[in-house]
Every structure is written in structure tokens, then in C-alpha cells.
Amino acid sequence: MRTPAGDQEPHGRVVLDAAFKADAPARYRRLRELGPVHPAEFPPGLTGWLVVGHELAREALTHPDLRKDATPAADALAAAGYVLHRPSVGLGAQMLQADPPEHTRLRKLAAAAFTPRRTAGLAPRIERIAHGLVDAMPPSGVLDLVEAFNAPLPATVIAELLGIPPEHHRDFRRWSGQALQVASPGHRPALAALHSLLAGLVGRKRRRPQEDLLSALVAVRDGDGGRLSEEELVGTALMLVVAGHESTVHLLGNAVLALLRQPEQLRLLRADPALLPGAVEEFLRFDTSVERATNRYAARDLVLGGVAVPRGGLVVVALGSAGHDAPPADGGDPAVLDVARRDARHLAFGHGIHHCLGAPLARLETAVALRVLLSRLTELEPAVPPDSLEWIGSGIIRGVRALPVRYRVG
């Protein structure tokens, strides 16, 4: 199999380093032209296979022999510096790293607290937070939209939802931003700090329960014969903090950046806010913030897309690539952003039993945030050339570190 220069090292593996992430859409496009799955190297030195095709991605996400249990790959993970099953340096015991029947049990218990009714009821509060952030902006000028709006909105929402006290919000935002950057030096300390904060809060909520999600999770654990262990309780809360916050920060950022790059789409969305629900699906398809799914490992020797994967082999699904592979249902060009697209097909929230539990909240936050931004900021344009923006260099999240914009509040 021939490969374009720059995509692979001489040994034939795709190297998913900072350079790849900065140019990910173009890199994925070239890989899709060559095939649906490729040998790859992931920071900090793990080797495995990268799935870039839509149909093969759906197959891999539901393959019965591709499991979250990393035991078959324990030696390779240890050699690369990963430490398994230590909540102080990882996400702890939670559903993202579990297989049935444990995953089924954990998801059912978390879903009992994270209900659709609770999510839908957040809409007025999300809107007030969004308006408050715009109110805090100077009337016009240049600012970093990530720092001023995109990050604090979902951070405040998830912190209030869980019941994290305001005095911890700033540290919480900083730690959650570092927690998914696996190749950064701040990755493990950030996870350890978040774990410590949440473990302390669990004790406080047990003594004095309140009307928040963390108290509800404690009640599930204590009221159901301890079926949610202490480690699982903290791990589930940590997963909601990290996955529920950082992914939405950059989903919103990627959406705004796409609109700034294509002002005709921005004008269309301003003119017809009723397009927003469908536009959110299009942003998820076009440039999703969760670029890659979490790791899966082969429970036995298997063949995936014609490629032999040995037992213990690491398989990673490129969710961001899959949305550009299959032609949209409306027959349009998948390479084009179309906020009026009626059926944007994507795998941004995964597929199968690990489909994201927080997907309704992410959709709600993004739609409300964009509606407020587009209605309140009468002028909005990039303050620097979009090609000069710095992208997050490691981990599964895709997004820019800062998004300087020139704006005017109407």
C-alpha cells in the first residue's frame, strides 16, 4: 500500500503527533483514499491500528471482540508508560473503560441520575450563563472566545450540575483542560487533582446531600446496596467532568471557527435560527471535538477491514474522519459545511453500547450557546488568520487553544 509523503514514517505507520492533529482533516482525507484502516503510532509510543472509514468505524465500535478491557495489552501499555487501574493517575473505574456486564451496570446507574428530564431542565440556566458571559464582554474589540465564552459556559454548567462549589471552578476548568492531553506533562497531575477534589466532595454530599448530580450518584450508590462502589462513583463523576466539559468547549469552538471561515454559512444561520438543531449535527459531522474514540483492544486474533489484528492489539476509531467518509443522506458533498443539511450522518457520539450518555446535554449547550452568540454579537470575525491558530497537540480532543475574534455586542 503506497502512502503520501508526510502521513507515515518509513516503517509504514501513521504517526498521530501534534503535526498530524494540526492538519487532521487533510491527513484523514488522504488516508481514506488509501483504505479504511492503517497501522498507527499513538502518543506516548503505543502502536496499533487507526480506523478512518465510516462503515468500518461502525463495525469496530460494536465489534464483540474489540473490548475496553486492556488486560490483553497490559505489557505493551506498561512499556509505553501507561498505568492501569489506578484512579489517582487515570479516570478510575467508570463505564468508558468497562465492558458488559460491568458497563451495563455502571451505565444504568449513571443514567438513573443523569436523566433526560434533568438535562432538558437546564436550558434556562444555560441561556442565563451564556447571556451573562456576553454581558461581561466589553462592548467591542478583540478577545479570545475560548477563554471568554466557550470554556466557561460548559464548565459552569457541568460544575453546577455536579454540585462543585464556586471556589473550585477555576481549578476545575484548568485541570479538566489538561486531563485529556495524554502526552502533556500536566495530564496525570490534573487527573489526580480532579480525583482528589471529587472524592472529597463525595464525602460532603453524603453528609449533606443537595439537589445536584453528585448527590444523586451518592444516593444511587448508598441506596442500592452499594452496587456503585466508591471508586466507581468517583470515576463516573470524573468521566462526566472531563468528557462532558472539554468536548463541549471545543465542539463550540470548532463550530464558530467553521462559521468564521465560511461567512456565508454564518449569515445563513443568523438569518434563520430555526436551522440551529440541524446545524449542530452538521458541526458534529464536519469537525467534531472528539476526534478519536477511546482505546479498544482485541480480545482474540481477528481481521478488521482485511487487516489482521492480533490479540491485545490496539484499535482506535477516528470519529472525525468517519463523518467525511459516507455521502450525506441528502446527497451533498461531505467535504462541504452546510448548516441547512437535513440529515448530517456522523459518529461523533460513538455508536453502540458506548454511545455518549451526555450527548443530549452537549447538543443543548451548543445550540443555546450559538443562538446567544449569533443574536448578541452583531459583528463577529477572526482577529488572526485562521491558519495561524494553534491546535491541541495530543489526546482525543480536537480544538484550538485560543480563538481570537473581533466582535461587537449589539
- Give the residues across from 141 on adjacent strands: 407
pLDDT band with cut points at 50, 70 and 90 for residue 53: very high
Inside any domain, residue 287: yes
What CA dihedral angle connects 211, 215, 216 and 220, to 10 degrees? Answer: -150
Give one DSSP letter per residue of 48-115, joined into a string. EEEE-SHHHHHHHHH-TTEES--GGGHHHHHHTT---S-TTTS--S-GGG--TTHHHHHHHHHHHHS-
Phi then psi dihedrals of residue 407, to 5 deg: -145, 170
Contact yes or no for 351/56 (Cβ under 8 A):
no
For the entire predicted model, the pTM comes to 0.89
Q: What is the mean pLDDT of residues 60-78?
A: 87
340-351 pLDDT, tens per residue?
998 898 999 999
The pLDDT mean for the chain works out to: 86
Strand 37-42 relative to strand 14-15: parallel, antiparallel, unpaired? parallel
352: nearest Cα among 134, 104, 133, 42: 104
Inside any domain, residue 311: yes
In the prediction, which pLDDT does 182 show?
Answer: 56
Inside any domain, residue 316: yes
Q: What is the mean pLDDT of residues 312-334?
A: 87
144-189 pLDDT, tens per residue?
999 999 999 998 998 888 888 888 888 877 787 776 665 567 677 8
What is d(CA 263, CA 192) in angstroms, rounded to the nearest whole number? 42
Cell triple for 380: 463577529
Cell triple for 360: 443530549
Q: Inform me whether the pLDDT recorded for 222 exceeds 90.
A: no
Inside any domain, residue 154: yes
CATH number, domain of 386, equals 1.10.630.10
pLDDT band with cut points at 50, 70 and 90 for residue 91: very low
366-397 pLDDT, tens per residue?
999 999 999 999 999 999 999 999 999 888 89
Domain limits for position 104 = 14-409
Inside any domain, residue 368: yes
Element (H, E) at 308: strand 307-309
Phi then psi dihedrals of residue 14, to 5 deg: -70, 135
Query: What percent of the chain has a predicted confidence (pLDDT) above 90?
Result: 52
Total domains, the chain: 1
pLDDT band with cut points at 50, 70 and 90 for residue 235: confident
